[in-house]
Every structure is written in C-alpha cells, then in structure tokens.
Amino acid sequence: MTVPVARRYLFAEKGRFAISVAGVAFAVLLILIVLALYRGMSRTGQTFREMPGALWVVQDGTSDPFHSVSLIEEPRLDSLEDIPGVAAIVPVLARQMQFEVEGKRTDGRLMALDLPEDAVSAGLRNHYAPPRGAMIIDETLQRMTGLDPGDSASFGDVSLTVDRVNSRSPEILFQYVFVNFTDARRIFGVHDVVTYGMVIVEEDADPEAVENAIVASDPALDVLTKDEMADSIRKEMDETFLPVISILVGIGFVVGAAVVGLTIYTATIERTREFGVMKAVGGSAGFLYRVVLSQAAILTSAGFVVGVLGALGVARLAIEAVPEFATEFRMLDIAGVLAGAVLMAVLASFVPVRRINSIDPASVFRA
Amino acid sequence: MDSLQGVILSATGVTRVFGQGESAVRAVDGVDLSVRSGELALIMGPSGSGKTTLLTMLGGLLRPTSGSIWIDGVDITRLSEAELAPVRRTSVGFIFQSFNLWETLTVQENVELVLNMAGKPGGAARARAISLLKARGLGARLNFRARDLSGGEKQRVSVARALANEPRLLLADEPTANLDSIRGREVMHLLRDLAHSDGRAVVVVSHDQRVREVADRVLWLEDGRFREIGQLARDPVCGMTVEAEDAVTLTHQGRTVYFCSAGCRWEFEQAPERFADAGPRDAGV
C-alpha cells in the first residue's frame, strides 16, 4: 500500500470531482442507453421467431412483411399439405391497420392464424388465436391504449373485445393484435385469399428440404424461414437507426474522454509545482504517469458505476413514460463500455502526461 | 572517485551558460568545489550571482554546459534523465526555501511518499516516516495536512523528507529565509548536526549571516565564480549580505552603512530610525 496521491489530489477538490464523475457518468449513460435501445429495437420481429412455424410461404416477390404485400389463393396452400416433412400449413392473414379505442385511432398489425384443432397445443391457441369477437394484445399496446380485458376496440365496423393480454413483446414499429381468423376475413374483406402460410415442419424433417420442395411444387410461391422474416423487419431498424446510434455512441465517447481529460489536465496544471517537486526529489517518469493514470482511472471508474446505475434507472423510467421504449442491457455491451471507458481514461491521460514531461524540476527552486 | 577520501560531492569546472551569442549569460563560470563527509559548506553571494543555478546543477536538476559533477563517485553529468532520477531519490536530499511540501498530503504521507518512490513498501515506509518525524518533534502532527503547519514545522517536515532515503548529500536553498529567528536557528543547528553527527555533506545556499555560525566553510559566489571573501556587511534595509568593498555606502552618525543597491540606500535615507541596527555586521570569515 503506497500513499494514495491520485485519490488525495482528486478528492481535494470535491466539487470538481463530483462534476467530472457526473460528466463521465453522462457519457456512459448515453452510450449504454443508446446501445440498450438498439438491442431492444433489434429484437423487433421476434414474434415470428416465437411462433411455431419454421417456414413462411409467401407470394413470390415478397421481400418482407412491411414493404410488399403477399396475397396467396388459399387453395394453393392446401396442395402443399402433402409435401413430405410438412406437419401442417396454417393460413395467416396479416395487415397493418388503424383501429379505434374510445374514438382515438391507434396503429396495430392485425394477425390471424387459422390454427387446426389437432396440430397445436391449447397454449398456442391461447396465445395467438382468440375465439370469435375477441382479440389478444400485449402489455405494450395495453399501456399505449389503456385497453384492459373486456374492453372493446373498433376495426371498421367490427368490434372486438380484449380476451387476453400477452406479456410485453419486443416489437417497436407496431404492436401485434391477434384476432380470430373468421373475424379477420370480415375486417379485411377477403374470402379465399390469405397473406401467408405458416408451415409447421415435422420434428424429424429437414426445413431446408421442405422449403425447396414447396418452391419446386409451385413457382408462384416463395418460402422464407422464420429467421428471414424476423431479420427482414430488423433490417429496417438497422438501416434507419444504426448510423444515428453509431454517431451517438461516438459523441458519448468523445464527451467522456474530454471530461476526464480536462479534469486531469486542470488538476495537473494546478499542481505543476507539486509534480515538479516529485520530479526534483527523484520521482521517476513512470511514477508520475501512474499518478495521472490513477486519477483518470478513479474518475472513469466512478463515472462508469454511476453511469451504469443511471442507465438502468433511466430505462426503467422511460418505459413507464413511453411503453414502446424497448431496451435490453447485455453484459457484453456493458463490458464493451467498460473497455471503452478504460480507453477513454488512457486517451484522456495523454495530454496531462505530456504536460508533466515538460515540467522542469529545477523550477521548484524558484520561490 | 574521491569518495574513498571522504569527498561526497565534487564539482570540476562547472559552467552554465544561458542563451546564445551576444545575449549569452554565464550564470556559473568554471566553479570547482569539493564537500567532504561531515562538512557543512555555505555558499553566499549577492542576488543573481548564480548560487541557485549552481545548487540545481549540484543536485542533478540542471545540466551544466561544461564541467563535471560527482556524487558519491558517480559522474552525474554523464547520466540520462532516467538515470538521474534514482540519484536524486537516494543520494541527494533537498531542502527548499519555500518548503515545497505536498499540501494535500498529510505530514506523514509527505515523508512516506519519497520512500514509496524509492521502492520501499507501505509498512516499512510508514514506520520510517513516523520515526523520522517523531525525531523532529512532529509526532503530534503526523495526520495534519501539510498546509496546516507553521513555517518552522513545514521546514522540519521538509528536512525529514530530505533524510527519508538516507542520502549522503543534503542541498539546502535558503533554508531559514521564511522562518523567524528562533526557528531559523533551530534549522541551522539541525543542519550542522546532520553534517557533523551523521557524516553527511551539507551544502547550504543562503543570505542569512546566522548560518555562518554553523558553517565549516563559507564560499562567496559572485558573477558565477567563487571569490575570496573580504569584509562582509549586512544591508540594514533588505537584510542581504554584501561585500563591503563593492557595496553602496553611506555615512550615518559617524558609521559606514553598507547597502546592496542605491534603492536600499535611498529607503534608508528617508527614515534611518526604522533601521536601528544599521552598521557593519561582520568582518569577514
């Protein structure tokens, strides 16, 4: 245990120390919140991964559920049932549309699965296929609209009652409203056309072989895996937000490094004579660098801890205020920010270290 | 080299030139000096004579333009900056006019830190620091901040710090300048004891005539060179020691009064009664 010079110097100016920690914490908070938001948003499309269909039959030329409409004559799906490896093909109707809750219009993505009675568990039906006249929403939509079980919403001239509220979904761009397949036909005004066919593959079957067989059997159809469906939605997020997020993370890093750098630089300038005395009495360059680096490390560590706690708190508060605000904190991201903070401390020490190098130890003899 | 004969510090032809061409100033000009173990050498001289420049070179803080300086048999003028740091850490102890303590550290930490710098670990460094400070009568001040001490206490901490790594050479720059007469006298006697009892070589730069009482040798530096000391006198206005031969003079109440400059003489002339102890103080060494 040696004399804690760095700590003494930092704590000698408690006000400045607090402001500097707050500055670093702000940078860490900004970076972490942006990353957590990105991670949360990246989970959009997760609904497709959670549904039981490994493959999704779409109209040929359909790129994703957003930008292209898929329309498939329902009898075409019937002909696919006999393909080896197919356990069931579930007709799906889906469309983004507005609906009314107590006179207020809200966006949602209606989805209706025509689940066969014998192919799926009761739990699945509870989750995705309500009885006629009912709908299933999630907690996010519940908080956005105020809809509780038993409340109604109007989809054109069709009124549906909330039957069940699923746990919060990771969807960002819109929230899913699962409705009964027959109700969906009425709402959309279609009879023998569906949007997709959700393919439930037999347990021992090879999904890729099934996919190839479906495409080969009907050239008017295409097949996307559930991951491709989810990724096509996520791609939208990545293209829109990744550049912005990268810039914000960069700004956070620069702000953090600048705060630490300026604080240590100011502390070094103010203590030029004391560092000069250290040099004069034989303090090695390594010893002096350690003092500067230790100051930077203490500041950065304190700022990092406060920043992480702040980010968790802000995320919690933000979700209360904005229900669709989806965040996900990953240990790997936190570790990455910590590594960034360490880099910040090292870079921030560079200028003060140069300053120390330039101190003339003989100057301490001047009164 | 000379260390076997008891010489701890040896300087040969030490010269320091600041600036170049016509504006070049020879602050120290071909100084030779040897200080033995157990000897206290006092360097005096007018302001600007090169005393502090010489001291900084002797301590390895400033490189001479030419000449060599040996400390404990090591020619420090040949060492790199990285090699000089350990010499300053272990072979030289510095005592400064303005104490130069680390104000935010405690008294104990001020001494402990130089031990840490020399690679001594926490427990041993702490014990040594406490022992040194107690020996200087600062046992009750160990946990005080350095900034909260009196001038005399600060100088004693400064001495304890200088002794921490047991250097054989002590360099003191105006060690009594910021102290009252009692504290100044204490420090002078302490420096003498450190030379005589502990066998160190002590070099003191000072204007303070009182230091002559404890010095084994007094050297007069003027214009960067050591000169024979003639009659010395004290300027009653600024307190500076001046050589009577070169001083500005005034006859006052039948006595010759010596001044470092015409400014001090003018000040004296305005109110001589303010400077009651006017008059020559010393008749040389």
Supply angle C-alpha B214, B216, B221, rounded to 5: 100
Cα A169 versus chain centre, distance: 12
Single-letter code of the amino acid located at B31: V
Residue A52: strand, helix, or coil: coil
CB contact under 8 A, B85 and A282: yes
- Residue owning tokens 């072979």: B91
Residue A121 has pLDDT above 70, yes or no: no
Q: Tell me the helix, strand and coil percentages in chain A, rounded to 5.
A: 55, 20, 25
Residue B3 has pLDDT above 80, yes or no: no
d(CA B158, CA B164): 10
DSSP single-letter state for residue A83:
S
Of B44, B46, B43, B42, the residue nearest B235 (C-alpha): B46
CB contact under 8 A, A2 and B173: no
Whether the Cβ atoms of residue A54 and residue A225 lie closer than 8 Å to each other: yes
By the CB < 8 Å criterion, does B10 face chain A?
no
Residue A199: strand, helix, or coil: strand
Average pLDDT over residues B73-97: 94
Name chain A contacts of B125, Cβ cutoff 8 Å. Answer: 2
User: What is the predicted pLDDT for the residue at B128?
Assistant: 96
Cα-based distances in Å from A140 to A180, A214, A278, B76: 20, 36, 61, 76
Query: What mean pLDDT, rounded, does chain A reach?
Result: 87
Task: Reduce the secondary structure of chain B to three states and give it as a string.
Answer: CHHHHCEEEEEEEEEEEECCHHHCEEEEEEEEEEEECCCEEEEECCCCCCHHHHHHHHCCCCCCCEEEEEECCEEHHHCCHHHHHHHHHHCEEEECCCCCCCCCCEHHHHHHHHHHHCCCCHHHHHHHHHHHHHHCCCHHHCCCEHHHCCHHHHHHHHHHHHHCCCCCEEEEECCCCCCCHHHHHHHHHHHHHHHHCCCCEEEEECCCHHHHHCCCEEEEEECCEEECCCCEEECCCCCCEEECCCCEEEEECCEEEEECCHHHHHHHHHCHHHCCCCCCCCCCC
User: What is the predicted pLDDT for the residue at B283?
Assistant: 32
By the CB < 8 Å criterion, does B80 face chain A?
no
Quick one: how many helices (H) and strands (E) in chain A? 12, 11
User: What is the predicted pLDDT for the residue at A332?
Assistant: 93
Lookup: tokens for A90:
């579930």
Are β-strands A86-101 and A196-201 bridged in parallel, bridged antiparallel, or unpaired? antiparallel
Name chain B contacts of A5, Cβ cutoff 8 Å. Answer: 102, 105, 113
- Of the two residues B282 and B251, the one the predictor is more confident about is B251
pLDDT above 90 covers what percent of chain B? 62
Q: Which of B83, B97, B101, B105 to mutate to test the interface with A (most CBs of A within 10 A)?
A: B105
By the CB < 8 Å criterion, does B104 face chain A?
yes
Task: Say how many C-beta atoms besides its own lie within 10 A of residue A18's C-beta.
Answer: 12
pLDDT digits (tens, 9 = 90+) for B16-68: 999 998 889 999 999 999 999 999 999 998 888 999 999 999 999 999 999 99
d(CA B218, CA B224): 15
CB contact under 8 A, A274 and B102: yes
CB-facing half-sphere around the CA of A59: CA atoms within 13 A: 14
pLDDT bucket at A191, cuts 50 / 70 / 90: confident
Whether the Cβ atoms of residue B30 and residue B207 lie closer than 8 Å to each other: no
Cα-based distances in Å from A360 to A208, A272, B20, B134, B147: 73, 9, 20, 33, 23
Task: Say how many C-beta atoms besides its own lie within 10 A of residue B255's C-beta.
Answer: 10
Q: Which of B89, B105, B117 sits opposite A8 (nearest CB)?
A: B105
pLDDT digits (tens, 9 = 90+) for B149-179: 998 899 999 999 999 999 999 999 999 888 8
User: What is the predicted pLDDT for the residue at B186?
Assistant: 87
d(CA A270, CA A249): 32
pLDDT digits (tens, 9 = 90+) for A301-356: 999 999 999 999 999 898 888 877 778 899 999 999 899 888 888 888 888 888 88
Task: Identify any residues that bridge with B259 across adjacent strands, giving them in sequence order.
Answer: B248
Single-letter code of the amino acid located at A243: P
User: What is the predicted pLDDT for the residue at A330?
Assistant: 92
Cα-based distances in Å from B28 to A326, B18, B67, B201, B221: 74, 10, 11, 21, 9
Are β-strands A86-101 and A158-166 bridged in parallel, bridged antiparallel, or unpaired? unpaired
pLDDT digits (tens, 9 = 90+) for A231-271: 888 887 788 777 888 888 888 888 878 888 888 888 788 88
Task: Identify any residues that bridge with A97 across adjacent strands, giving them in sequence order.
Answer: A108
The minimum CA-CA distance between A258 and chain B, rounded to whole Å, is 25
User: What is the predicted pLDDT for the residue at B79?
Assistant: 96
Residue A177 has pLDDT above 80, yes or no: yes
pTM: predicted TM-score of the whole model, two decimal places:
0.72
Pick the range with the lowest mean pLDDT from A61-65, A115-119, A301-305, B123-127.
A115-119
Query: What mean pLDDT, rounded, does chain B reach?
Result: 89
Residue B269 has pLDDT above 70, yes or no: yes
User: What is the predicted pLDDT for the residue at B277?
Assistant: 57
Q: What are phi and psi of A347, to 5 degrees?
A: -65, -40
